Amino acid sequence: MLDQATVRQKLDAWLADFVEVPHPGLGNWAPCPYARQARVNNKIDIQFCEVAEITVAIKQNLQSLESKDAVVICFDHNHINPVDLQEYTAGMNQTLMSDNYVMLEDHPDSPEFVNGVRMNFGYCGLLILQKLDKINTASDQLRVKGYYDHWDTTALDQVVNWRCK
């Protein structure tokens, strides 16, 4: 099992020092322009589980999205390979999206780059649950402002376009 205090500390540092900070490779946009506000307003719920318990953890935490902007489920990535996690996430999203939820995955062994900037947390596996309509509205607002101008088609398809249909 992950040391929860260490993961929380590293996750907070990653958010504050990377996710919320404008980056030149992203046109001086922060990787997630909404993360700081969510973090400082305590709108991110962090949960922990074993890989074998992920489905239960997802179902138990969806209701939190009525008052939170995101639920982050942390797990030991050494117990699932990146391809299996991606396939699991895609399958779960078939059900979740019909109920207005979406899940994004992050596996340290599956690097995700946007314009040369590595976006992964890197310490453990993450599943990020959000309300589908909220994340799509936020994406639409960012698109109009030019946020995605530095993203290539592959990154857009992997992170954004598949959930906006």
CA end-to-end distance (rounded Å), the chain: 37
Average pLDDT of the segment spanning 55-77? 97
Average pLDDT of the segment spanning 37-45? 97
pLDDT band at 11 (very low <50, low <70, confident <90, very high): very high
Q: Which amino acid is at 25?
A: G
Average pLDDT of the segment spanning 70-76? 98
E strands within 26-111? Answer: 44-48, 70-75, 101-106
pLDDT band at 20 (very low <50, low <70, confident <90, very high): very high
- Cβ(28)–Cβ(55) under 8 Å? no
Of 120, 42, 131, 124, the closest CA to residue 78 belongs to: 124
| Domain regions of the chain by residue span | 4-157
Q: What is the DSSP letter of 123?
A: S
**Tokens standing for residue 125:** 């596996």
CA distance 131 to 99: 9
Please give the torsion angle defined by the CA atoms of residues 82, 85, 90 and 95, in that order, rounded to the nearest 10 degrees. Answer: -170
pLDDT band at 164 (very low <50, low <70, confident <90, very high): confident
> Quick check: 165 pLDDT over 70?
no
Q: Is 79 in a helix, a strand, or coil?
A: helix
What is the pLDDT, as a whole number, of residue 1? Answer: 75
Average pLDDT of the segment spanning 71-90? 98
Mean pLDDT of the chain: 96
CA distance 87 to 155: 17
pTM: 0.95
CA distance 113 to 70: 22
